[in-house]
Amino acid sequence: NWCCMFGEVEARAEILGSNVLRCICPPHPSGNVPFYITCNDRTACSEIRDFEFRGKAQTAPSTTEKELKAEDLLLQLKFVRMLCSDELPRQAVNEAIANKIRNSFKKGLEQWDAIAAAIKDKSRTTHEIKDSIFDVFSRLKLQEWLIRRAGQDGKGPSVCDKEGQGMIHIVSALGFDWAIPPLLAAGVLVNFRDLHGWTALHWAAHFGREDVILALIGAKAVPELLTDPTPAYPNGQTAADVASCRGYPGIAGYLAEASLEHHLSVLTLKDGSLNEIHYTNASLAGESAASRLLSGENVQCVTDDTFLKQSLSAVRRATQAAALIQSAFREFTFRRKQEEEEARLQDINSDNVEYLMAAEKIQKAYRGHKIKKQNSAATKIQSKFRGWKGRHEYLQTRQRIIKIQAIVRGFQARRQYRKILWSVGVLEKVVLRWHRGRHGLRGFQAEEKMVEGDEVAADDEFLQEGRKQKEHVIESAVQRVQDMVHDPEARAQYARMRAVSQQIQVLEKTFKLFFSFQALFFFVLFCFWLVLHRLNRTMSSKI
């Protein structure tokens, strides 16, 4: 029985092969101890060597972790400052809104006993207990702040701090998913924008807060909203773009899919132009996109992976939604052209046809009269100038007269032009240059008036540019979902968020079904009571 001695501690060893032993090192304080092999009798059977026990290596946090911690601390500072520095006069509180806020906080404020028990049992670390205390304290202060703000006129709970951020943006960035329902109950819009056009969904995606994103999506937040344009992003950013730039491809894929599905639902609600052919073509496009990704070399995973199957189904849904949106765009353009053509044809009604026929008759009579006059004049000219000499002299005299007339008319026009130019030059120097100190009229070109046809062309160009931008957003959303397939961590993150969202949907359906059954039960009970009441009245009247 071979053993290994670590100082005064003996550990059993097992034989792996010739001249190869393996043992588990016992716990020991850091330092050097003698090490040798024994036959389970604490007597050295080999050379004695020094064995060094080392402490646990403390890895220094990376620069990105330090930056994230600094951002979290700044957000906590903003949150506390906004709660504590808000001094408002006492006013009447809206009890209905206050009760909604209190009910939304009821579950979170019952943690004092749990924290005290954890401190006594020492089942949690000091850092976790501090976080729990800060969490409960934040809930209390936020409840007071919302009740106080809900009774105020004006912005109310939608007020922003000096940097243009509202309370819903700060709590979303901090990951406080419990704060979303109270803020919405207090009247804050879920798509409320800050100074730079960022919504709460953008801030949650910026910091990778999965629970907050699911809470906001469940509260009907619009995932395809764009931020204000910046030099780096002139067309703005969606929440999926923000998450992708911050290194959260799973969140980016989930938000991109949600944005496509939301856009498709809005289109189908407003316009029912999509038929079965469009849905069939879209499903075929989704299947082909998923098969191309699965056959690609970048997908490094086994085929029976659950996360891979879920991500491929997400690619199918996203591609199908994008294809349906493109089909809706094409149908809208075709229908718009048809409406313009029908409107143009409807202008020519029966009255216009009669007017056109009368005008055509007048024009025909006028042309006939003009032709008769021209023929008679030509006959007279031919009778007078039939000779070659007379015709030649007539043409020379006519040419000279035309030249003299042109010279005289040009001289008169230039003389009038000089007068106008001199008077305009005097006015220009006196009024524009000397009196107002502005540029003169030299180089000035009058703007051409836009006729009705040009206005229609400008509208079409504006619609085409907007459609191009929207198509670019749709293509980038599909690309986000496809990029998620190539990353195993992104697939796992997407599957986690998808599972939680499905659980939330199942709970919502269960609650709706329960309340519908409850309402039906009370309705049947009321009808039964009404029948009994009428029977009692009839029996009493007979008696």
**Percent share of the chain, pLDDT over 90:** 4
Are the CB atoms for 40 and 1 separated by under 8 Å? Answer: yes
- Residue 169: the pLDDT is 92
Mean pLDDT confidence for 306-314? 80
Q: Does residue 197 sit in helix, strand or coil?
A: coil
pLDDT at 304 over 50: no
Confidence of residue 433 (pLDDT cuts 50, 70, 90): low
Question: How does DSSP assign 38-61, residue by residue?
Answer: ESSSS---S--EEEEE-PPP-PPP
| CA 142 centroid distance within chain | 28
Are the CB atoms for 262 and 230 separated by under 8 Å? Answer: no
- Residue 2: the pLDDT is 86
pLDDT at 342 over 80: no
Confidence of residue 302 (pLDDT cuts 50, 70, 90): very low
pLDDT at 318 over 70: yes
CA distance 328 to 488: 34
pLDDT tens for residues 60-87? 444 556 666 788 888 888 888 888 876 5
pLDDT at 519 over 80: no
Torsion sign, CA atoms 372, 374, 376, 382: negative
CA distance 158 to 320: 38
- Residue 541: the pLDDT is 66
- Residue 350: the pLDDT is 55
pLDDT at 120 over 60: yes
Which position has the token pair 């994103």?
213
* Span of 4-18, 151-165, 311-325, 481-495 with lowest mean pLDDT: 151-165
Confidence of residue 404 (pLDDT cuts 50, 70, 90): very high
Mean pLDDT confidence for 420-442? 67
Q: Which helix (H) or strand (E) holds 472?
A: helix 452-485
Cα distances (angstroms) measured from residue 137 to each of 124, 141, 143, 212 = 18, 6, 10, 19
CA distance 84 to 334: 58
Return the top range by mean pLDDT from 14-18, 264-268, 359-363, 379-383. 14-18
Cα distances (angstroms) measured from residue 434 to each of 419, 420, 423, 442, 444 = 21, 20, 16, 15, 18
Confidence of residue 202 (pLDDT cuts 50, 70, 90): very high
Q: Does residue 410 sit in helix, strand or coil?
A: helix
Regarding pTM above 0.85, the answer is no
- Residue 203: the pLDDT is 93
Return the top range by mean pLDDT from 143-152, 183-192, 379-388. 183-192
